[in-house]
């Protein structure tokens, strides 16, 4: 008994198997991340910490170096880069080998950071060290400025931190949010060294005074338990000292020392206080030369770029509704728009390929029943492939979709072979189910061998090392998955369906209003998927041509068959001549191989084709 016999005799089981393949694929589609290309960058773990009040040199010695020394021992690390700025911010980028699991990498880095924690300053321990997954590429960038220059960078920075920074950070899929040009509000203390020396003080004394008097101290309760019951006042009162310094006057009246006579020496006696930003190292101005901020949003490696972009844009729109008049927010970069347009373009190409394949199938088979069998192989194979993409951790990108476009022509081949074999047996007098059972015993080996040969062409690409192997792995395996599903479909569903819907009777002539409607529908589908490339006029052309074709199918089939017979005759004559002139044919083959080798060595090479993403980046250095 052939493998296919059980499926042919059990149509319900076979149909359920095919429906299950499609359902699993449909469930996987919204789960899969969407990207422009497969992620070929090394897994990146971002370690960040802040040492407030310290300069770059102190931060590097006290924070960056201890963290780097511990992180260097993490397994799988490819290389580490770090940056320490004048505001006390320490950022360490830990890049791992492409074969590692980024979730495991994050856990390993977090464990190493915990080992370095005792060596860090107390202030850094209090604020904490952040360890997050990140992506080196920016997803979105916005410029925030004031239209008339009425708000400075410090005000804009405070506005962004209070109302936008944390909502953006909470968007699912956002790795981190970076603000350029902004700085936190800060009080600057300018002290006169000579006055300090005259009062036998140092800058360290000023710093200690700020730390000791800039705090909230809770004193406890007065009148609460376990006080004795005979006391006069038993109502508990919370005693606290709100010592936060929140204004210039608070800092000016800061007590530095007390003389033996009881006179108080205040900060205003030895210097002055100014209000500003904690850093002026990076300044951003807009086209009107007014102070501005730039917000850059980075996504996590496994997130869906379009979903993250949509979530960020929603938060930006909410922020726009709350900002004071005069604050402008402009989007200056959005890779999501390019990804969306690229993916839509490939989807249109896939849809157009399916429409053309269906037209060609019907033109050759000239029987709607026979056309249905290979036509159903397309959605089963292509949609089912998404389940494999999900299992293997792939994404929906240009290469996986292009693989589906290429596979569209491959997945119908096996079904066409089955339908032709079954039709031949039916023409010889067999009943449809008997014809299907008879032919599958002969076709099983051929169909399986064809699928294995096709898979053998593409599967080895998945084992190619380096970035090239990673980027083309998804393309190759997508085709291999679709071919495997197509082979299973050709061995199960296609022969079962052929035995059910094919008839021993000659199909009626394709004419009538119903075929005009079908032609219009096909024309609309053609216009839908080709309008982006050729314009909206393709809708009209598709409808007109589809209606005319639907009303004249017998004539079209007659003309096609007559010309196809001529082509067969011409090909037979040409083949005989080529067999007679074998040496010339072999010489032409050798010349073609040499020309191919010459072109391969002379044509320019590149990692991937150049593409225009609609933006430019320039770096200007003033001397």
Say how many C-beta atoms besides its own lie within 10 A of residue 599's C-beta. 9
Confidence of residue 228 (pLDDT cuts 50, 70, 90): low
- What is the tens place of the pLDDT at every residue in 2-31? 677 888 888 898 899 999 999 999 999 888
**Per-residue confidence (pLDDT) for residue 567, from 0 to 100:** 93
Spatial distance between the Cα atoms of 360 and 350, rounded to a whole number of angstroms? 15
Mean pLDDT of the region 606-622: 67
Residue that has been written with the tokens 């074999």 in this structure: 421
- What is the tens place of the pLDDT at every residue in 287-334? 666 777 888 888 887 788 888 888 999 999 998 888 888 888 888 888
Tell whether the model's pLDDT for residue 220 goes beyond 60.
no
- What is the tens place of the pLDDT at every residue in 481-530? 999 999 999 888 888 888 888 877 777 777 778 888 888 888 888 888 88
Half-sphere exposure of 325 (CA within 13 A, CB side): 0
Cβ 496 vs Cβ 14: under 8 Å: yes
**Per-residue confidence (pLDDT) for residue 240, from 0 to 100:** 46
435 against 40, higher pLDDT: 435
Sequence-ordered alpha helix ranges (H) in 199-266: 203-213, 248-252
Mean pLDDT of the region 69-97: 86
Sequence-ordered alpha helix ranges (H) in 392-508: 398-427, 432-458, 466-491, 493-501
282 against 350, higher pLDDT: 350
607 against 192, higher pLDDT: 192
Please, what are the domains in the chain? 42-134 (3.30.70.1430), 186-226+234-277 (3.30.2090.10)
Mean pLDDT of the region 402-409: 87
Tell whether the model's pLDDT for residue 336 goes beyond 90.
no
Tell whether the model's pLDDT for residue 227 goes beyond 80.
no
**Per-residue confidence (pLDDT) for residue 21, from 0 to 100:** 93
37 sits in the region (left: phi over 0; alpha: psi -120 to 50; else beta) called beta
Say how many C-beta atoms besides its own lie within 10 A of residue 102's C-beta. 18
Confidence of residue 239 (pLDDT cuts 50, 70, 90): very low
Spatial distance between the Cα atoms of 541 and 144, rounded to a whole number of angstroms? 47
Spatial distance between the Cα atoms of 545 and 48, rounded to a whole number of angstroms? 62
- What is the tens place of the pLDDT at every residue in 43-57? 888 898 888 767 788
- Annotate 285-332 with DSSP letters as a single string: E-TTS-EEEEEEEEE-TTS-HHHHHHHHHHHHHHHHTTSPTTEEEEEE
Spatial distance between the Cα atoms of 296 and 289, rounded to a whole number of angstroms? 20
- What is the tens place of the pLDDT at every residue in 245-256? 777 888 888 888
Mean pLDDT of the region 336-354: 83
Confidence of residue 58 (pLDDT cuts 50, 70, 90): confident
**Per-residue confidence (pLDDT) for residue 617, from 0 to 100:** 65
**Per-residue confidence (pLDDT) for residue 2, from 0 to 100:** 67
Q: What is the per-residue burial (b if ≥16 Cβ within 10 Å, else e) of 116-143?
A: beeebbebbeeeebebbbbbeeebbbbb
**Per-residue confidence (pLDDT) for residue 387, from 0 to 100:** 93
**Per-residue confidence (pLDDT) for residue 529, from 0 to 100:** 85
Mean pLDDT of the region 207-234: 61
- E strands of 502-623, at which residues? none
**Per-residue confidence (pLDDT) for residue 482, from 0 to 100:** 93
For the full predicted model, state whether its pTM sits above 0.75: no
Tell whether the model's pLDDT for residue 473 goes beyond 50.
yes
Q: Classify residue 86 as exposed, middle or buried by CB count within 10 Å of its CB (0-12, 13-18, 19+).
A: middle
Helix H or strand E encompassing 217: strand 216-222
Mean residue pLDDT across the chain:
82
Q: What is the percentage of the chain residues whose pLDDT exceeds 90?
A: 13
The three-state DSSP-derived secondary structure of 101-131 is CHHHHHHHHHHHHHHHHHHCCHHHHHHCCEE
Mean pLDDT of the region 370-374: 85
**Per-residue confidence (pLDDT) for residue 532, from 0 to 100:** 78
**Per-residue confidence (pLDDT) for residue 386, from 0 to 100:** 93
Stretch among 238-242, 492-496, 564-568 having the lowest mean pLDDT: 238-242
Number of H helices, E strands in the chain: 22, 15
**Per-residue confidence (pLDDT) for residue 99, from 0 to 100:** 79
586 against 155, higher pLDDT: 586
- What is the tens place of the pLDDT at every residue in 113-133? 898 888 888 888 888 888 888
């Amino acid at each position: 008994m052939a493998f296919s016999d059980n499926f042919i005799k059990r149509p319900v089981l076979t149909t359920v198997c095919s429906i299950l393949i499609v359902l699993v694929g449909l469930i996987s589609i919204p789960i899969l991340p969407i990207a422009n290309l497969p992620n070929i960058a090394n897994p990146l773990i971002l370690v960040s910490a802040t040492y407030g009040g310290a300069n770059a040199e102190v931060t590097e010695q006290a924070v960056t170096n201890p963290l780097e020394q511990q992180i260097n021992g993490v397994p799988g690390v490819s290389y580490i880069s770090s940056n320490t700025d004048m505001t006390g911010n320490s950022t360490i980028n830990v890049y791992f080998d492409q074969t590692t699991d980024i979730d495991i990498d994050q856990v390993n880095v977090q464990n190493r950071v915990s080992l370095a924690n005792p060596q860090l300053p107390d202030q850094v321990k209090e604020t904490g060290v952040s360890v997050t997954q990140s992506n080196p590429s920016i997803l979105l960038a916005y410029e925030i400025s004031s239209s008339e220059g009425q708000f400075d960078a410090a005000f804009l920075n405070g506005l962004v931190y209070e109302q936008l920074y944390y909502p953006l950070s909470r968007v699912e899929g956002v790795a981190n949010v970076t603000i350029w040009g902004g700085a936190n509000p800060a009080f600057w203390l300018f002290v006169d060294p000579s006055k300090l020396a005259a009062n036998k003080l140092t800058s360290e004394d000023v710093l200690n005074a700020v730390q000791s008097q800039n705090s909230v101290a809770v004193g406890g309760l007065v009148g609460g338990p376990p006080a004795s019951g005979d006391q006069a006042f038993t109502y508990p009162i919370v005693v606290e000292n709100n010592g936060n310094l929140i204004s210039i006057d608070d800092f000016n009246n800061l007590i530095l020392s007390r003389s033996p006579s009881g006179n108080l020496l205040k900060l205003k006696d030895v210097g002055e206080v100014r209000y500003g930003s904690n850093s002026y190292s990076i300044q951003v101005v807009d086209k009107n030369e007014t102070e501005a901020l730039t917000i850059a949003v980075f996504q996590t490696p496994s997130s869906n770029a379009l979903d993250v972009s949509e979530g960020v844009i929603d938060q930006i729109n909410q922020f726009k509704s709350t900002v004071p008049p005069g604050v402008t927010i402009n989007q200056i970069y959005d890779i999501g728009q390019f990804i969306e347009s690229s993916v839509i373009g490939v989807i249109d190409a896939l849809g157009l390929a399916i429409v053309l394949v269906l037209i060609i199938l019907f033109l050759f088979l000239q029987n709607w029943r026979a056309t249905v069998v290979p036509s159903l192989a397309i959605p089963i194979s292509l949609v089912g492939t998404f389940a494999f993409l999900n299992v293997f951790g792939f994404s929906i990108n240009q290469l996986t979709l292009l693989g589906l476009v290429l596979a569209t022509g491959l997945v119908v081949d096996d079904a066409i072979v089955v339908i032709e074999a079954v039709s031949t047996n039916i023409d010889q007098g067999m009943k449809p189910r008997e014809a299907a059972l008879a032919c599958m015993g002969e076709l099983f080996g051929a169909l399986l061998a064809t699928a294995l040969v096709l898979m053998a062409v593409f599967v080895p690409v998945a084992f190619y090392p380096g970035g090239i192997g990673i980027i083309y792995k998804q393309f190759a395996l997508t085709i291999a998955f679709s071919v495997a599903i197509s082979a299973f479909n050709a061995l199960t569903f296609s022969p079962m369906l052929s035995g059910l819907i094919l008839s021993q009777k000659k199909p009626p002539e394709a004419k009538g209003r119903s075929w005009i409607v079908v032609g219009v529908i096909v024309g609309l589908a053609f216009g839908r998927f080709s309008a982006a490339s050729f314009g909206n006029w393709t809708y009209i052309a598709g409808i007109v041509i589809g209606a005319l074709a639907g009303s004249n199918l017998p004539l079209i089939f007659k003309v096609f068959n007559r010309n196809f017979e001529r082509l067969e005759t011409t090909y037979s004559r040409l083949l005989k001549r080529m067999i007679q002139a074998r040496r010339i044919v072999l010489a032409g083959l050798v010349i073609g191989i040499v020309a191919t080798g010459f072109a391969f060595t002379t044509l320019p090479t590149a990692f991937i084709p150049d593409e225009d993403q609609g933006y430019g980046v320039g770096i200007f250095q003033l001397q």
